[in-house]
Chain A
């Protein structure tokens, strides 16, 4: 039942709820109950505290999706990125408010709250985090940057960087 599965994940999807090991200070997202970094895992039992990530981070790699996953057809081409958060964990997420040509490794981003997908016209709507360029998140849309979302359909635009 997708409703229960997704509902259980809302703390992390809505608010980037992770966890921190009080023994070695490692931060995890999604949250863990035992620290895999501590030399003796048992040390961390009962010492994992909830930690909400700030949502700030930097793009370490990205790809431009032209063949949409189900439910994302209206958004192609869209950007998926690996984001190194300020607290440490590496997150995968869509980057909005940006056209593919403006993407670059090292781009500062901030989490934003968006609709992730809906289970058909009568089903549940799922919400959660995506990322937006930080200057966009803080300074908002800038005038005259592009005419409209770029119809970047040329095959050479798709790229994934390690």
Chain B
């Protein structure tokens, strides 16, 4: 058993099987969906089945992570689920997930909410608990089944998916060398209590929000870690669409090759809290021991969390045969018409029962 610095011991991903294209959405609203998709760099987005939600997606992702790492769920000391689409307003997602993987009752659990970065915030919390040796394993999950209002620009990107990371100190496949955050009060995107769909500041979500926080957080990381873009084999950014992460990556000086595996949104849409985690999982599916990875998440409201990771030798022996590689989720799927999508997502008023 290899002991090392705290880091990722195992990971799992789940993306629902259904997809819809921007062209299909656009033809309903009288918009050139093809152009919309090209502008956002989104070819299609994932759609959950009517019986899938943040609880079920988180559970599927975590079950894969636990099986791959051969981790006894009773050794999990903390489990946090980050999402902005928890099924209950009051009643934790985390307790249901913990029970469904057999981790209860000797653990602490809670739900996190910070728009799209609740999952990366959960990673930091788990790192603290693991490094202080309060727990053996911590689980950080980022999952969403987010929705945009019908016809809104968000509807072309908001999708569903989940990523689960097990954080520990034994058999670490990617050690976390540094983590830093950059947080301000910036109201670029929100959803008020009781509202069905989120609101956003349109173009305000760009420069003062996403680009400022992700860019400044990455620079903080370079300063703390003493690194430049050349030190990283891979970079993963939060990806509300396929355009923003490429632009910030290029602005910071990363090449297309460094961004290649971390970009998943063009094929599955914006999975919100899961986006950075699924991008990281795709990198871990391909990364080789010794390679360094930069991850910068972003959550509206607003803040960024950055992680500097190094893939360890243990990654070479890590069993990826259980569950699906991320690439398969990117390549596969069953496309829906807008009408079936609207039915699945509860957008059709069914009248009073």
Residue numbers of A with Cβ under 8 A of B are 10, 14-15, 52, 73-75, 96-97, 112-116, 120, 125, 127, 130, 136, 138-143, 145-149
Q: Which 4 residue pairs are nearest across A and B when measured between Cβ atoms? A: A141-B17, A74-B50, A140-B324, A114-B51
Closest to A140 in B: B324
Chain B neighbourhood of A73, CB < 8 A: 350
Rounded to whole Å, the gap between the CB of B254 and the closest CB of chain A is 29
Interface centre among A73, A97, A142, A148 (most CB of B within 10 A): A148
- B302-344: which have CB < 8 Å to A? 323-324, 328-329, 331-337, 340, 343-344
Number of CB contacts from chain A to chain B under 8 A:
76
The reply to whether B100 and A148 contact each other, CB–CB distance below 8 Å, is no
- B50-101: which have CB < 8 Å to A? 50-53, 55-56, 59-60, 63, 87-88, 96, 99-100
The reply to whether B50 and A75 contact each other, CB–CB distance below 8 Å, is yes
Rounded to whole Å, the gap between the CB of B28 and the closest CB of chain A is 15
With the chains together, A142 CA to B324 CA distance in Å?
12
Q: At the interface, yes or no: B49 with Cβ under 8 Å from chain A?
A: yes
Q: At the interface, yes or no: B187 with Cβ under 8 Å from chain A?
A: no
Closest to B16 in A: A141
Chain A neighbourhood of B329, CB < 8 A: 140-141
The reply to whether A143 and B333 contact each other, CB–CB distance below 8 Å, is yes
The reply to whether A138 and B343 contact each other, CB–CB distance below 8 Å, is no
The reply to whether B336 and A113 contact each other, CB–CB distance below 8 Å, is no
Chain A neighbourhood of B51, CB < 8 A: 75, 96, 114-116, 130
Q: At the interface, yes or no: B102 with Cβ under 8 Å from chain A?
A: yes
Chain A neighbourhood of B334, CB < 8 A: 141, 145-149
The reply to whether B100 and A115 contact each other, CB–CB distance below 8 Å, is no
Rounded to whole Å, the gap between the CB of A162 and the closest CB of chain B is 28
Chain B neighbourhood of A138, CB < 8 A: 323-324
Rounded to whole Å, the gap between the CB of A96 and the closest CB of chain B is 7
Chain A neighbourhood of B328, CB < 8 A: 139-140
Given contacts A14-B99, A15-B100, A143-B332, contact A127 B56 (CB under 8 A): yes
Given contacts A74-B50, A112-B60, A140-B329, contact A127 B335 (CB under 8 A): no
Chain B neighbourhood of A120, CB < 8 A: 353
With the chains together, A136 CA to B96 CA distance in Å?
24
With the chains together, A114 CA to B53 CA distance in Å?
8
Chain A neighbourhood of B18, CB < 8 A: 148
Chain A neighbourhood of B87, CB < 8 A: 125
Contact with A along B250-283 (1 / 0, CB 8 A): 0000000000000000000000000000000000
With the chains together, A21 CA to B158 CA distance in Å?
49
The reply to whether B53 and A115 contact each other, CB–CB distance below 8 Å, is yes
Rounded to whole Å, the gap between the CB of B71 and the closest CB of chain A is 16
Closest to A146 in B: B334
The reply to whether B52 and A114 contact each other, CB–CB distance below 8 Å, is yes
Chain B neighbourhood of A114, CB < 8 A: 49, 51-52, 56
Listed by A's residue number, 5 A-B pairs whose Cβ atoms lie within 8 Å are: A52-B102, A114-B51, A125-B87, A140-B324, A143-B332
With the chains together, A130 CA to B51 CA distance in Å?
10
Chain A neighbourhood of B340, CB < 8 A: 148-149
Rounded to whole Å, the gap between the CB of A98 and the closest CB of chain B is 10
With the chains together, A120 CA to B353 CA distance in Å?
10
With the chains together, A15 CA to B99 CA distance in Å?
8
With the chains together, A14 CA to B97 CA distance in Å?
9
Closest to A129 in B: B100
The reply to whether A113 and B335 contact each other, CB–CB distance below 8 Å, is no
Closest to B99 in A: A14
Closest to A116 in B: B51
The reply to whether A141 and B333 contact each other, CB–CB distance below 8 Å, is yes
The reply to whether A127 and B96 contact each other, CB–CB distance below 8 Å, is yes
With the chains together, A138 CA to B68 CA distance in Å?
13
Given contacts A140-B328, A147-B335, contact A127 B100 (CB under 8 A): yes
Q: Select one of B331, B337, B353 contacting A148, CB under 8 A.
A: B337
With the chains together, A120 CA to B53 CA distance in Å?
16
Chain B neighbourhood of A75, CB < 8 A: 49-51
Beyond A115-B51, A143-B332, list 12 extra A-B contacts (CB 8 Å).
Answer: A113-B60, A113-B63, A125-B87, A127-B56, A139-B324, A140-B332, A141-B17, A142-B332, A147-B335, A148-B334, A148-B340, A149-B340
